[in-house]
Amino acid sequence: MNRYTIDTIRVGLKYSFESEVTHEKLQAFTLISGDINPLHTDKEHAVKRGHPDVVVYGMLTASLYSTLVGVYLPGEMALLQEVQTQFKRPVYVGDTLTLEGEVVDVHTLLKRIEIKAVIRNQHGKVVSKARIFSGIEEAQV
């Protein structure tokens, strides 16, 4: 886990990581969210709607933005405040997603950073984009 502070983070700092979408993650998200929409839970229904399999929840995909902020940029000193996200393509179980984030603004007085992020599937296709704002603490003495 990274531990950037408002004093050490800088514009242009980037981080990326991969995450595989598994059936177990899909089931866990269904349980946690209570969203039982058949697009996400019933392959036959999803196929009738033109998909090869059930569609992974957009919010499951977007949860990677929380990982980016809480673990990597800035990490331990973060407090996620806002995520503006767009879903561009469906995600399916078995996809490997790569998230790339970059700090694009540092507001020292507000102790707040802005990150632009994108998630791509294993084919390099953008599945989600986001603009993220996070609070960030000062170095503790």
> pTM for this one?
0.95
Tell me the pLDDT of the chain (141 aa) as tens digits: 999 999 999 999 999 999 999 999 999 999 999 999 999 999 999 999 999 999 999 999 999 999 999 999 999 999 999 999 999 999 999 999 999 999 999 999 999 999 999 999 999 999 999 999 999 998 775
What pLDDT sits at residue 141?
59
CATH of 14-136, one of 3.40.50.2300, 3.10.129.10, 3.30.70.3270, 3.40.50.300: 3.10.129.10
Tell me the Cα Rg of the chain. 17
Query: Cα(65)–Cα(28) distance, rounded to whole angstroms?
Result: 18
Residue 113 structure tokens = 């950073």
What pLDDT sits at residue 138?
85
Which DSSP string do the residues of 58-105 spell out, in sequence order? HHHHHHHHHHIIIIISSBTTEEEEEEEEEE-S---TT-EEEEEEEEEE
Residue 22: what residue type?
T
Domain range annotation of the chain: 14-136
pLDDT in tens, 76-88: 999 999 999 999 9
Nearest to 66 by CA among 46, 81, 52, 53: 81
DSSP assignment letter at 3 = B
